[in-house]
Amino acid sequence: MKAVVVHQYGGPEVLKFEDYPDPVPGAGEVLVRVAATSVNPIDYKRRAGLTKDFYPLKFPGLIGVDISGTVVKIGPGVEDFSVGDQVFAMADNTYAELCVVKAADLAKVPKGLDLIQAAALPLVTTTGNQLLLATEVKAGQTVLVLGAAGNVGRSAVFTAKTHGATAVAGVLKKQLDEAKNVGADQVIATDDDNAIAGLLLVDAVADTVGGKTAEKLIAKVNPGGIYASVVEPPRNAAKYPSVKVVHVFSKFDRKTLEFMAEAVRDGKLIIPISQRLPLSEAAEAQAKAEKGASGKILLVA
């Protein structure tokens, strides 16, 4: 098969589109012919060696987390899937024409959802859902979602609304117009100190941004509230002992992914896709993503 192979840590130029051994499904695994994958920050951080302490690459190796495609072979003990099923998942080594996925980590693409589009959804929608749930926000309470214009943030806002919570979208000034379609009840600019000062206390924060923004906004959480983050926790968290800080690591959940994907299919949740590039152009795709391209970039196999 052809795959995007990494022989050493470095910039986008280390991504080489070349021949690589076909993977073989083992017990409880499924072989998927990849329709598409997508570019996520974890992909280019891993390529650059920024995650080698906890998520290293063995060279020559593959990267990639999102996958959508068609089942072409079933390993021993797999009962839930058949050859020809259209599937999607969070997996490993997805920048390739073929990928082995554990059946337990696989879901069927909902009818009516485009197979290529499905590749944009697994990591960001699952992460956003689980980030929001970690805030433990209840119906009638208010949650501030930082980075709400991003795909994880959008997914968190949608999840908040499905739980009956009031969602405040925190975005940059330049994103205020874009944030009008994320489904939040209120939008504020997190790089506007006056806007922050005027924000009433919230019951929880769902953070996808971190940094200085996190340090400012933790002060806006009610005592006893929760500050959940998928990035580093606020460095000044010790100053707010009444606020519980939770670090969220996303993990695959089939029901969650199916639920979020159905929301995208039905137009209830919008995950913008900015570009669709051939898998062979993964280096260009990652370079664009690292420069802050808006919307998901898909790599079509």
Render pLDDT for 125-134 as a digit per residue (tens, 0 to 9). Answer: 999 999 999 9
- Tell me the pLDDT band of 294, cut-offs 50, 70 and 90: confident
pLDDT at 8 over 80: yes
Look at residue 197 in the predicted model and tell me its pLDDT. Answer: 95
Q: Residue 293 above 90 pLDDT?
A: no
Among 70, 1, 2, CA closest to 281: 2
169: pLDDT strictly greater than 80: yes
For the stretch 219-276, pLDDT in tens is 999 999 999 999 999 999 999 999 999 999 999 999 999 999 999 999 999 999 999 9
Quick check: 30 and 83 in contact, CB under 8 A? no
In this prediction, residue 3 has a pLDDT band, given cuts at 50, 70 and 90, of very high
Mean per-residue pLDDT, 133-151: 97
**First-last CA distance in the chain:** 11
CB-based burial label for 111 (10 Å; 0-12, 13-18, 19+):
exposed
Q: Round the average pLDDT of the chain to a whole number and report it.
A: 97
The reported pLDDT for the residue numbered 109 is 98
Q: Note the pLDDT of residue 182.
A: 95
Average pLDDT on 24-52 reads 97
Q: What pLDDT digit, counting tens, does each position of 43-93 carry?
A: 999 999 999 999 999 999 999 999 999 999 999 999 999 999 999 999 999
pTM for this entry:
0.96
Is the pLDDT score of 138 beyond 90?
yes
Q: What burial class does residue 31 get, using C-beta atoms within 10 Å of its C-beta: 0-12 exposed, 13-18 middle, 19+ buried?
A: buried
Q: Look at residue 297 and give its three-state secondary structure.
A: strand
Q: What is the pLDDT of residue 273?
A: 96
Per-residue confidence (pLDDT) for residue 292, from 0 to 100: 84
Tokens 């052809």 -> residue: 2
